[in-house]
Amino acid sequence: MTFELEHTAAGSAARAGRFTTDHGVVETPVFMPVGTAASVKGVFHRDLVQAGARIILANTYHLYLRPGMDVIEAAGGVHRFCTWDRPMLTDSGGFQVFSLAQCRKLTDEGCRFSSHIDGSRHLFTPESVIDTQRTIGADIMMAFDECPPGDSPRDYAAKSLRLTHRWLERCFDRYASTSPKYGHGQSLFPIVQGCTYPDLRAESALFARQFDADGYAIGGLAVGEPAPVMYEMIEIVNDILPRDKPRYLMGVGTPVNILEAIDRGVDMFDCVMPTRNGRNGMLFTSEGVINIRNLKWREDFSPIDPAGHCFVDTLYSKAYLRHLAVSGEMLAAQIASLHNIAFYMWLVDEARRRILDGTFAQWKRGMVVKLTERL
């Protein structure tokens, strides 16, 4: 994987760049739709491509449990298994182990846990997680880390950080001693942790950068802390991480969060919000946020979003989408999810264009106001 930094916005840390993997080139800033089980819920791959998706995310924890590594390997890796021929990234499963698994036990060795599916017992270690991601075959792999609760006291956050750093060393040792299985390269990103403690965030960023990785991730944010605190942590970390490598803010977030993070030098994002909120009737538009179930849309025959960022925007009206949603029709979730994904794609693409033409700061100020409106 290679990264080219093309331009930095005037008066901002916002960057436009591009990284190249064996499955294609990805221009940044970029949003990655979340395909937890190698499937972005309710959306065909052809529609993801039409919506502008260039890279998607899958999750190690979920694929490890189901369908299992024997199936993924027999298929020839995750790209062939799910017929996605563009770049993919896998989360290490650390967040899912600590948030979904039951009866987990954390030691220096790794984490023992019970599957949320059938209660079966498993062990994730830094080595096994790298081996699993080698078998999955994503272009970008994530190091195994502990994602402590956002409100962790400082002593726990510090203890957790030391464990994450020990695991990180073991992840890179295993990465260096193994090879990709399917003929294409794989990169490994460290994850910077440290909760909301500035000194721990700085320590973690300094520790991570010594591995000279192809890119770096920022984890453990957007977990309940105030947005200004999240932005402060991003600034601290990005002042330390290498300028010539992509920076990935994990699990973030709202359109406003994304613009603020781009303004602070973040290049890559993922979040379940476009699809999860879409399934519940929340639509993000260029004029503000819509709850499509509200009665006010019952006889509104205007397009979902007049700006037309996706083919469904002008194909269906608000009134029709509301009818589908309140009727419990599956098509409502599909349309809303696809619209939201396309809107997120438009947002990061427009941010990139504005960075390159020198108008990002002014455009961002206006967009933040619009994106906070409830229509």
Active-site residues, by number, are 91, 270
Nearest 5°: the CA angle 307, 338, 358 is 45
Indicate left, alpha or beta for 18 from its phi (over 0: left) and psi (-120 to 50: alpha). beta
| Residue position matching structure tokens 């499509």 | 292
Question: Three-class SS of residue 224?
Answer: coil
**Which residue carries 């004029």 as its tokens?**
287
**Helices 154-177 & 198-209, crossing angle to 10 degrees?**
10
Residue 29 main-chain phi, psi, to 5 deg = -65, 150
Residues forming beta bridges with residue 188, ordered by sequence position:
141
Q: Give residue 211's identity as a one-letter amino acid code.
A: F
CB atoms within 10 A of CB 357: 12
How many Cβ atoms sit within 10 Å of the Cβ of residue 111? 22
